[in-house]
Every structure is written in C-alpha cells, then in structure tokens.
Amino acid sequence: MKDKLLGQFDFAKVKQHMDDVNWTWSGEVPSIYKMIQVVSRMYDSLEKSSDITTISTGGFTLIEHNYHYELCFSIESADVEKV
C-alpha cells in the first residue's frame, strides 16, 4: 500500500512549487528522493501506532482512517474556533 501511495503522489509538482517559493528544509530545497524518504517514514510511523491517525511535517500531511491513507501537501490553511 505504501508503494501505491507514493507512486500516485505527484512529488515533481511539489518539488516545482518548493523551488518556485524557495521552500527549504534544513537550509535547502529537498530533492524528490528526500521527500519520498520523509513521507515513507511518516507512513511507517502511522503503521506502527494504533493511537496516531495523522502525521505532518514539512508541508506534508498523511492521514489514516480505516486502512485508507491520504497524502496531502499544504501551502495554506485556516482554522477557527466555534464560539
């Protein structure tokens, strides 16, 4: 399942955006290979935990719900508290 998820995600599109805005990790824009390594570790962390269903880092968010995985790369978000 991990290979299918990684294969369906357009890392080149994310890389292009990161290059365009100079989005860096540890002082440099990550390579596609590095992004895949990070997402792979995120996936492994979700697989090992029964308590964690969402993990995020470096713009990537990986969500697991009932053995369904969703991988996103976010460039903007908002959240408000209901009063």
Residue pLDDT, tens place only, 19-33: 999 999 999 999 999
CA atoms of 83 and 73, how far apart (whole Å)? 29
Q: How many domains does the chain have?
A: 1
**39 in a structural domain:** yes
* Whole-number percent of the chain with pLDDT over 70: 100
**78 in a structural domain:** no
**82 in a structural domain:** no
E strands in the chain: 54-57, 60-65, 68-73
| Residue reference for tokens 């969703």 | 70
**41 in a structural domain:** yes
**54 in a structural domain:** yes
Encoded amino acid at 61, one letter: T
CA atoms of 62 and 43, how far apart (whole Å)? 7
**62 in a structural domain:** yes
Q: How many CB atoms lie within 10 A of CB 5?
A: 15
Q: Determine the pLDDT at residue 50.
A: 80
- Are 73 and 59 within 8 A, CB to CB? yes
Segment 65-75, tens digit of pLDDT: 888 999 999 99
**12 in a structural domain:** yes
What is the span of the domain harbouring residue 65?
A: 2-73
Q: Determine the pLDDT at residue 52.
A: 85
